Amino acid sequence: MHITIRQLQVFEAVSRRLSFTRAAEELHLTQPAVSMQVKQMESSVGLPMFEQIGKKIYLTQAGDAMLLHARTIMQHLEAAAEEMNDLRGEDSGRLRVAIASTVNYFATQLLADFARENPAVEISLDVTNRELLLSRLEANVPDLALMGKPPADMDLVSESFMDNPLIMIAAPDHPLANNKQIPLSDLPEAHFVVREPGSGTRVAMERFFADQDFSYQKSMELMGNEAVKQGVEAGLGLAVVSAHTVAQELTLKRLVKLDVVGMPIMRRWYVAHRKGKRLSPTAQSFRRFVLEAGARGTS
Ligand code: PGA
């Protein structure tokens, strides 16, 4: 398979815009030049990357798979260029931050504050669950990650900056909503809405229940905090979530916090990067910014 980096760039742009014309505009090429690059790539690969249905184009299964590789290769190229800039003593002013989905509830404010103080910095933010975030770190994609406690067996430098209390939530009409110090044993028939596998919140919840010899019943598994909160509001069951994710719903009394013995489960948020990674001055200053914001308790 002989494909060029230029072909991958063109293919990525067409996949993102789902249009040869718009990709051509973006890349300052003519539309036939874009089609030609894609055709050449398809003939090297031996499979079509796109299919046309009516007036629209769609990625084929092969195109979908190739897109993941194309993006990885392009991220590596960018990382290589930035590392070379670093070695020349130049700072690209770019900052790639990966955050666990639960961090999103406060990280956007943090990034906005940082961007206000550093208007020249171009920030890209990748929001994903813990497991995918770890694989991004493994692939050396982000400069910095904001996440739950990193696994000890990964070569990361990490420092904690803020509490992450996990609480149990219920719909406001839950019969135990006003009780104090509820033992888990008072919830034997309770059903739980749980996060997808790969979520750090879910791992922590399962560890807590296992430590307490409490076997929970799963009513539904949902992707992301928003879906879990809506599931609880809709009466699908209880859930364990980070307190950061439900501040509004608790204030508006759309959800209630159950006062369960042993909870909140106290976790911490960490700022992490790969050991040996050369942090650019921009990344170092963002790292300091996060640690200071955590110390002030303003994040
Ligand atoms: P998550 O949060 O549940 O969104 O993966 C990260 C974590 O709690 O470690």
Residue 298 has pLDDT above 70, yes or no: no
CATH code that applies to domain 5-86:
1.10.10.10
Q: Model pTM?
A: 0.72
Residue 297 has pLDDT above 90, yes or no: no
Mean pLDDT over the full length of the chain? 92
Ranges of CATH 3.40.190.290 domains, the chain: 163-267
Q: What is the dihedral of CA 74, 80, 82, 88, to 10 degrees?
A: -150
Calculate how far, in angstroms, residue 67's C-alpha sits from the geometric centre of ligand 1.
Answer: 26
Cα–Cα distance measured from residue 196 to residue 43, given in angstroms and rounded to the nearest whole number = 39
Q: Are 238 and 170 in contact (CB under 8 A)?
A: yes
Calculate how far, in angstroms, residue 253's C-alpha sits from the geometric centre of ligand 1.
Answer: 24
Residue 197 tokens, joined:
């596998």
- 163-267 folds as D-Maltodextrin-Binding Protein; domain 2 (3.40.190)
Q: Is the CB of 294 under 6 A from ligand 1?
A: no
- 90-162+269-298 folds as D-Maltodextrin-Binding Protein; domain 2 (3.40.190)
> Average pLDDT in the 241-256 region?
96
Q: Is the CB of 273 under 6 A from ligand 1?
A: no
Ranges of CATH 3.40.190.10 domains, the chain: 90-162+269-298
Ranges of CATH 1.10.10.10 domains, the chain: 5-86
Nearest partner of 196 among 132, 108, 252, judged by Cα: 132
